[in-house]
Structure 1
Amino acid sequence: MAFYRLEPWGSHYDDLRAGVVASMIGNVHRDHKKRAKPFGDLEFISWNDHARGSRDAGPILLGDADSQSDLIARMMFPPRT
């Protein structure tokens, strides 16, 4: 657990690392006249489009405490397919 805090691993972190490389390549080749703002690493991650739409949404609060706990567990640890 302590090592994970120092050096996180997993698919999300791999995607973020790939996004950093892709944004660097995109910034090297971007037309500064057409796009003055540099690309960010999250702009090159496909799952970020889903997260981008939900950032402005408020928290999901359920009436039942058990249902709320189940929702939190499913969001943090999605079932493997």
Structure 2
Amino acid sequence: FFNLFSDFKGYCEYFLLQDLVYDNYSKVKFFLPFNDFVENPLPKDVNEYYEYKRNNIDFIHKRTKRIEEYNNQILLKCWDIV
């Protein structure tokens, strides 16, 4: 792991997962409240499921935007070479 990415931050940046961690990369953002695996991690009821679903969709939108921005940067670099 560390030979490939140096650290957790490098892993998150490589796979464009910055929206799943806090700014300092010290904690992961979960889609539901997290209590160190004391309770069942699955949604307890419909409301909690909707919260999970909203947070998941929000992450998907943010990551899609991040991927688009990354692709645009790559295209700009390619155009500069030509």
Task: State which structure, 1 or 2, has the greater radius of gyration over its C-alpha atoms.
Answer: 1
Normalised by the size of structure 1, how large is the TM-score? 0.30
TM-score (norm 2): 0.29
